[in-house]
């Protein structure tokens, strides 16, 4: 076998090993577990009475590209899944849900608008700061809004926000 063929084969094997090892590291970043999402506000209030924790709301819509990307690329990572499940109640709030929501002794309805419509509970939990999707909201144990930010959050960004607003 020629020397150039041996070098080519060796280089190909090394590249293949690098690709294989990189794919294993990406797999290990994902979690087999998932976030314990809450969609029922009565359940949230009952949990808060029993064991108060801060709350993280993911205000999203079904059609929102960045929302779907966060679900796939951020809310599936072990670091986020584990941190949220241990330290927060995570509320998965579809801003366009059409059912009535009773929360904090108030009833919130779906309201039609020129874009289709939205449920007013999204405005309530964000102190009327839901301007785009996704919007991440952090409330403390007393239901006080401590953080509201629209837009895609990376794993690093979201972890920082969660850690900063834990207490």
Per-residue pLDDT reduced to its tens digit, 107-136: 999 999 888 899 999 999 999 999 899 999
Q: Are residues 3 and 43 in the same domain?
A: no
Q: Are residues 23 and 53 in the same domain?
A: no
Q: Are residues 25 and 38 in the same domain?
A: no
Where in the sequence is the domain holding 53, given as residue range(s)? 33-164
Q: Are residues 87 and 107 in the same domain?
A: yes
- Alpha-helical runs (H) found in 30-154: 41-50, 65-73, 78-87, 121-125
Is the torsion defined by CA of 140, 142, 127, 35 positive or negative?
positive
Q: Are residues 26 and 60 in the same domain?
A: no
Q: Are residues 5 and 58 in the same domain?
A: no
Q: Find the angle CA(73)-CA(76)-CA(78) to the nearest 5 degrees.
A: 120
Alpha-carbon distances, residue 80 vs 9, 104, 122, 144 (angstroms) = 41, 27, 22, 22
Q: Are residues 98 and 150 in the same domain?
A: yes
Q: Are residues 49 and 75 in the same domain?
A: yes
Q: Are residues 92 and 121 in the same domain?
A: yes
Q: Are residues 5 and 52 in the same domain?
A: no
Characterize the bridge pairing of strands 55-60 and 89-94: parallel
pLDDT band at 72 (very low <50, low <70, confident <90, very high): very high
The total number of structural domains in the chain stands at 2
Q: Are residues 80 and 113 in the same domain?
A: yes
pLDDT band at 28 (very low <50, low <70, confident <90, very high): very low
Residue 18 has what pLDDT?
Answer: 46
Query: What CATH number is attached to the domain comprising 56?
Result: 3.40.30.10
Q: Are residues 10 and 89 in the same domain?
A: no
């Amino acid at each position: 076998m020629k020397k150039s063929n041996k070098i080519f084969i060796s280089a190909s094997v090394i590249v293949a090993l690098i690709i294989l090892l990189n794919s294993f590291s990406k797999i290990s970043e994902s979690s087999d577990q998932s976030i314990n999402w809450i969609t029922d506000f009565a359940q949230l209030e009952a949990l808060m009475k029993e064991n108060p924790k801060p709350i993280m709301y993911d205000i999203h819509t079904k059609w929102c590209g960045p929302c779907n990307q966060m679900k796939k690329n951020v809310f599936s990572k072990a670091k986020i899944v584990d941190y949220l499940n241990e330290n927060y109640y995570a509320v998965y709030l579809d801003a366009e849900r059409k059912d009535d929501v009773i929360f904090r002794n108030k009833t919130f309805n779906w309201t039609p608008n020129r874009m289709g419509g939205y449920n007013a509970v999204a405005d309530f939990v964000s102190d009327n700061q839901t301007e785009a999707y996704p919007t991440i909201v952090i409330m403390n144990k007393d239901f006080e809004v401590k953080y509201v930010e629209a837009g895609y959050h990376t794993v690093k960004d979201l972890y920082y926000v969660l850690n900063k607003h834990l207490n």
